[in-house]
Amino acid sequence: MAVDIKNLNHNQLNDLISKAQVRQNELRKEKVGKLREKIHALIKAEGYAFEDIFGHGRGKVRKSGGTVPPKYRNPADPEQTWSGRGKRPRWFNDALKAGKKEKDLAI
């Protein structure tokens, strides 16, 4: 089916473009579905489960950061430390107001 686009007006061209984009998305979804089926069949043929290869769940897995080593120490009380993440502790702000610099508090 050949369409002579030179004889189409602006609205007809926009309509043709939108229909072509819809069809393109449909074809892409079909191809992705077929590819997904092939991948599942290959995994099953090798004796594995999908989760063995790609892990559990869908989407991104957020890693827990765990503990971060401290970057700053309170000179008045060495037991108080701060990693530099999150809200500044009161002792840190008080030391800055007293004229200390961040590098003075660094470990």
Residue 46: what pLDDT? Answer: 93
pLDDT at residue 2 in the model: 82
The full set of domain ranges for the chain reads 8-54, 72-105
pLDDT at residue 61, rounded to an integer:
64
b/e burial code for range 82-104 (CB count within 10 A of at least 16 → b):
beeeeeeeebbeebeeeeeeeee
pLDDT in tens, 7-26: 899 999 999 999 999 999 99
Q: For residue 57, what pLDDT is reported?
A: 67
Q: Which of 41, 37, 28, 105 is nearest to 73 (CA)?
A: 105
pLDDT at 59: 62
The residue ranges of the chain whose pLDDT is under 50 are: none
pLDDT at position 98, please? 92
